[in-house]
Structure 1
Amino acid sequence: MAAHRKPRQRSLGTGKVRTAATIALAGAATATVFDGTGHAEPQLSTAQVKAKVDKLYEEAEAATEKYNGAKERAGKAAKRVGTLQDEVARKEERLNSARDALGSIAASQYRSGGLDPALQLALSDDPDQYLEGAAFAERAGSRQAAAVQRVRHQLREIEQLRGAAHVELASLKSRQAELKRHKKTITGKLDSARQLLGRLSDEERARFGATGGSTVGGGSGGSDSVSVGSGDRASRSSARDLADPAAPAGSVAAPNSRAAAAVSYAYGKLGAPYVWGATGPDAFDCSGLSQAAYRAAGIALPRTTYAQINAGSRVSRSELQPGDLVFFYSGISHVGIYVGNGQMIHAPNSNAPVRLAPIDEMPFAGATRVA
């Protein structure tokens, strides 16, 4: 008899079994990840958090400028709609008066009976008087025809105005939808920045320039705000000192009175909170601050950074003078007011108030002189 051989056990180290074990382990790991119990994302260093937050703020500010532009366009569209609607109402009032007059003429003719003119002449006791009356009636008829023509013209005008108002209303709705999209982008970027900053201690945040006493607000009313803490109160105190007419020691004089007025206004707003979409007097975004400063100097600037850079004459970095507007990033999404000695005053982002800063802290994109 042939000896019964015991089946040889395959070692776990062989290829097929090893592959099966690998697949099983991979499946278990995948299941763990899908169950939400996977490894936490790697801890970022302070420098990595700073880089990510700075990028988010840059993107949020670019969206803010788009929001500001859309808001400006929506305001203009709403104003045009109001003007057109007022004009339609005025023309409808005049049309109703003209219609009433025509109605009176028609009623009078109906009451007169409308006899054939030849028969009226034959029955008249005074043919000469009748002929004079007929001539008058003919002239009255001409005036009536002209009145009818005016009514028709007014109707056409009103229809044209209503059509234009309809187009403007469609434009306004489009702008409002655009505002909503930009607002969503802004709040999303700022929420992400807040979450990243929440990983850091106050000391770490202060290390890369975030104000220790400020917290990034939620922006419930369509804007993002910064609550003023002890650090901001100290900044406001120093701002009052800097706003003194004597100006800070070592400051460079502005080239003219308007530039000086804009710079003085900016110094007076140091410590004011950043609120996206705000133009003062108590809170600002970057282009809102530059617009408000020059408004105080008697110069009307456009609302957005994209328009402000073209509002005056371009100057090179080496030609900068106090009062010049300095712009940053390739998308021209940030602006500050140059105050001399390589410094500017600007509204940085939702985690810092209006402050004095070197123009080297961001990628320089150009400068404009508006005064």
Structure 2
Amino acid sequence: MASHRSPRRTPQPGQGWPARVTVLSAAAAGAAAALLPAAPAGAKPDDKPAARLNSRIDRLYEQAEVATEKYNGVAERTGKLRKQVANAQDGVARGQAKVNRLRDSLGSLAGAQYRSGGIDPAVTLMLTEDPDSYLDKAATLDRIGSRQLTRLHQLQSAQRHLEQQRSEAAGKLEQLDGLQKSLKRRKKDVQQKLAAARRLLNQLTPQQRAARDGHRDKDTHGGGLGGAKPSSQRAAAAVAAVRSAVGRPYAWGAAGPGAFDCSGLTQWAYKQAGTSIPRTSQAQRSAGQQVPLSQARPGDLVLYRDDASHVAMYVGGGQVVHAPHPGAPVRYDPVGMMPVSAVTRP
């Protein structure tokens, strides 16, 4: 009797243990997904990461702007101190020349006195054939001696003054060296923050970057601010200058005419109007009359954040012109683009 055995079936593709693992994994994933809250309809998965990146970029730009204004302040003091050092060094050179002239004059007087006074005056008087002439010469020598004493006092005074000038010049040079070192540290701080912001920007997609560049905060005040006319002719000239700079690039530490940072732009605009205002945004806050935001007029300086680390110029219609940050040119923005801390009318 023949034996009947069931033939061994060859496993079909997808029915072996790898497939069973896949099925189990999918089931586990499904169970885990069931425990998580469902994503809102229409939500884009990259919205939150992009928002976090933009928030970090904005924070870095703000920190860089604070560091830039500190850099500008140190740079301004350094420039003034350089002039003081140059003037002090010129004073030392003039003082040294005066001391040299007095020394030469004293040397000439001393030589003449020595040549004329080698013999005792009484003996000379007895031996001379012309006593009257000798007495005239003796009176002259006496005047020379008196003049020599005066020059000696002048020389001593000039030497003391020269030493004081040298000490002051040395002190200013030491201050200048300290400021220059501080300038390098602050420059490095700004560069590090801007480099970090660039790295974060590179993580955004082209669409996200375009959305960021085109973003404008809403103007909470609209066009109902103050008067439409500038408060003075110089304010009108400053507004014309700042409008002419729209489109020029931002560059930290720059004050025109080819590129600007925020306070460099406003300082440059008022310079074109023949008015000098300080270099930093913090100092510009105190560079005129404080007015309420509701009374802002074209040409007024609008200071932002509690530390006044950003400044713009109000140009009317609820708009300011400012130099925002690296990569963004000088542009118009709503006056309420960020918290306003002060409005100053130079």
Fold conserved between structures, TM > 0.5: yes
The aligned amino acid for 1:318 is S
Look up the match of 1:221. Answer: none
Q: CA–CA distance in 1 between the matches of 2:134 and 2:238? A: 82
Q: CA–CA distance in 2 between the matches of 1:353 and 1:174? A: 34
Look up the match of 1:263. Answer: 239
Quote the sequence identity (%): 47
Q: CA–CA distance in 1 between the matches of 2:335 and 2:107? A: 74
Deviation at 1:100, TM superposition (A): 1.4
Q: Determine which of 88, 94, 99 is the counterpart of 1:90.
A: 94
Is contact 1:287-1:305 (8 Å) kept? yes
Is contact 2:68-2:190 (8 Å) kept? yes
Look up the match of 1:342. Answer: 318
Deviation at 1:364, TM superposition (A): 1.2
Is contact 1:210-1:352 (8 Å) kept? no
The aligned amino acid for 1:122 is M
Q: CA–CA distance in 1 between the matches of 2:150 and 2:296? A: 67
Q: 1:137-156 counterparts in 2 under 5 A?
A: 137-156=141-160
**Given the two structures, how large is their TM-score scaled by the length of structure 2?**
0.80
Q: Determine which of 284, 301, 312 is the counterpart of 2:277.
A: 301
2:140 is the alignment partner of 1:136: yes
Q: CA–CA distance in 1 between the matches of 2:231 and 2:113? A: 79
Look up the match of 2:328. Answer: 352
Deviation sequence 1:326-362 (CA, Å, 0-9, x none): 0111111000001122211000001211010112221
2:284 is the alignment partner of 1:280: no
Deviation at 1:48, TM superposition (A): 0.6
Q: CA–CA distance in 2 between the matches of 1:106 and 1:158? A: 23
5+ unaligned residues in a row in structure 1: which ranges?
Answer: 1-42, 212-250
Q: Determine which of 268, 274, 292 is the counterpart of 1:292.
A: 268
Look up the match of 2:55. Answer: 51
Greater alpha carbon shift after TM alignment, 357-366 vs 191-200: 357-366
Q: Determine which of 156, 168, 171 is the counterpart of 2:175.
A: 171
Q: How many residues align?
A: 290
Q: Determine which of 272, 289, 292 is the counterpart of 1:313.
A: 289
Greater alpha carbon shift after TM alignment, 93-102 vs 287-296: 93-102
Deviation at 1:282, TM superposition (A): 1.1
5+ unaligned residues in a row in structure 2: which ranges?
Answer: 1-46, 216-226
Q: CA–CA distance in 2 between the matches of 1:118 and 1:135? A: 14
Q: 1:1-371 counterparts in 2 under 5 A?
A: 45-112=49-116, 114-209=118-213, 252-370=228-346
Q: CA–CA distance in 2 between the matches of 1:66 and 1:278? A: 13
Q: CA–CA distance in 2 between the matches of 1:127 and 1:254? A: 89
> Secondary structure in 2 aligned to 1:45?
helix
> Secondary structure in 2 aligned to 1:60?
helix
Deviation at 1:148, TM superposition (A): 1.2
**Given the two structures, how large is their TM-score scaled by the length of structure 1?**
0.74
The aligned amino acid for 2:100 is N
Higher relative contact order, structure no. (Cα contacts within 8 Å, ≥ 6 residues apart):
2
Give the 4+ runs in structure 1 shifted more than 6 A. Answer: none
Q: CA–CA distance in 2 between the matches of 1:66 and 1:210? A: 29
Q: CA–CA distance in 2 between the matches of 1:261 and 1:133? A: 75
Structure 1 residues 321 and 113, CA, compared in 2 at 3 Å: closer, same or farther? closer
Deviation at 1:203, TM superposition (A): 1.1
> Rg: which structure is higher?
2
Deviation at 1:110, TM superposition (A): 3.4
The aligned amino acid for 1:260 is A
Structure 1 residues 210 and 122, CA, compared in 2 at 3 Å: closer, same or farther? farther
Structure 1 residues 362 and 320, CA, compared in 2 at 3 Å: closer, same or farther? same
Q: CA–CA distance in 2 between the matches of 1:45 and 1:263? A: 40
Is contact 1:325-1:367 (8 Å) kept? yes
> Secondary structure in 2 aligned to 1:208?
helix
The aligned amino acid for 2:318 is G
Is contact 2:110-2:148 (8 Å) kept? no
**For the aligned residues, what is the CA RMSD?**
1.9
Q: CA–CA distance in 2 between the matches of 1:177 and 1:190? A: 20
